[in-house]
Amino acid sequence: MELFWYIVLVTMLAVYVILDGYDFGAGIIHLFFAKTEKDKKAITNAIGPFWDANEVWLIAAGGVLFFAFPTLYASSFSGFYLPLIMILWLLIFRAIGLELRGQIHNSMWETIWDKAFGIASLLLALFFGVALGNIVRGVNLGIVMEGVSTHEAHYFFLPLWNPTFSPQAEHLGILDWFTVLLGIIGVVSLAIHGANWIIFKTNSSLNNRLKNVIFTLNFVLLGLVIISLFVWHVIEPKPFHNFITNPWLWIFPIITFTGLLGLFKIKSFKKDGYGFLFSSLFLFGGLASTVASIFPKVLPSTNDVNPSLTIYNVAADEYGLNVGVYWFAIAVVLVAIYMTIQYKVFKGKMDDVGYGEH
């Protein structure tokens, strides 16, 4: 049952990254490329009916984490307390930026909330990439100092950064050169993803320009991914151990590079949705490849005193996990109905929705 709920959790996070990821990406595009009021409205129209529903996937994933892996929930929410609070405030500012902009028709007022929406989206993409980097790199579980664990084995706490900015320091921080690298990959990949969503859902005058932006950023993304693969050897001596032991796992890196390489054809796609499909493949494959590389670990330990947290030593009782399956089945049906109705109602281009206008 631990494996079942782990797959559920990762799937929900992947859905969140794909769905709310295009919201973040649209915010990044809004910040840097939307210069006219018409272009700004096109972008907000593209995500307006969807963004709040997309965020529910993060809350639902948190609920599954609390229910199925309570020890990991407790450890992570205390150890990553500072960045989680920052992410919460960024989510708030992104939301109120969208909702408050149209309340008063004044250029200064609109500019303030445009910046709040764009900057919050950019920083959220960065922080979620950094979060993935922290999980891959691991943390000093038990806060071991000079070979002695000073706290219980699953406890840790990280400052925002350490003085050395190194991912191999004894006292780690949230930010170091490795986690920032993954954060930058997050920003670039979600900017591409958001641009693809805008192309897919609008007839904006930005669309042709965005295709050129995607094509250029894809070279940057390819370079960053290759660098991250080489750097990964610095953090983990045997990064591909699981893939060698279980060759079927190579399907996830194949999906990742299929999405990445497919985006180089963005200028020649006959249908606007193809770009979004390929960027979704990249995001799903990248996340799945990352978690597969550290499985069954869910939070590696950077010391030799306390063991890493795995799906087996952080899971809830077997009885609770079994009972939860029945409620999960009901939830899946309800979510499927809701999403079918939502995307049927708002299918096609969204230029005339008029989201946020008062």
pLDDT at site 203: 84
- The pLDDT profile of the chain, 358 residues, written as one tens digit per residue, is 888 989 999 999 999 999 989 999 999 999 988 888 888 888 888 888 888 888 888 888 888 898 889 999 988 888 888 888 989 999 998 888 888 877 777 788 888 888 999 999 999 999 999 999 898 888 888 888 877 777 888 888 888 888 888 888 778 889 989 999 999 999 999 999 999 999 998 888 888 899 999 999 999 999 999 999 888 887 877 778 888 888 899 999 999 999 999 999 998 888 888 999 999 999 999 999 999 988 888 988 888 888 888 989 888 888 888 888 888 889 889 888 988 888 888 887 776 776 656 5
Domain range for 35 is 2-139+150-345
pLDDT score recorded for residue 356: 59
| Number of Cβ within a 10 Å radius of residue 104 | 11
Whether 351 maps to a domain, the answer reads: no
Q: Is the C-alpha dihedral spanning 166, 167, 172, 175 positive or negative?
A: positive
Residue 197 has a pLDDT of 93
pTM for this predicted structure: 0.90
* 52 class by beta-carbon count within 10 Å (0-12 exposed, 13-18 middle, 19+ buried): middle
In a domain, 210, yes or no: yes
* DSSP β-ladder status, 297-299 and 144-145: unpaired
- Residue whose C-alpha is closest to residue 195's, from 28, 2, 16: 28
Distance in angstroms (rounded) separating the CA atoms of residues 2 and 320:
11
CB 349 within 8 A of CB 45: no
Overall domain count for the chain: 1
Which residues are CB-neighbours of 112 under 8 A, at least 6 positions away? none
Taken as a whole, the chain contains a residue count of: 358
- Residue 353 in domain: no
Distance CA 60, CA 67 (A): 11
Q: Is residue 355 included in any domain, yes or no?
A: no
Confirm whether 144 is domain-assigned.
no
Residue at 305 is within a domain: yes
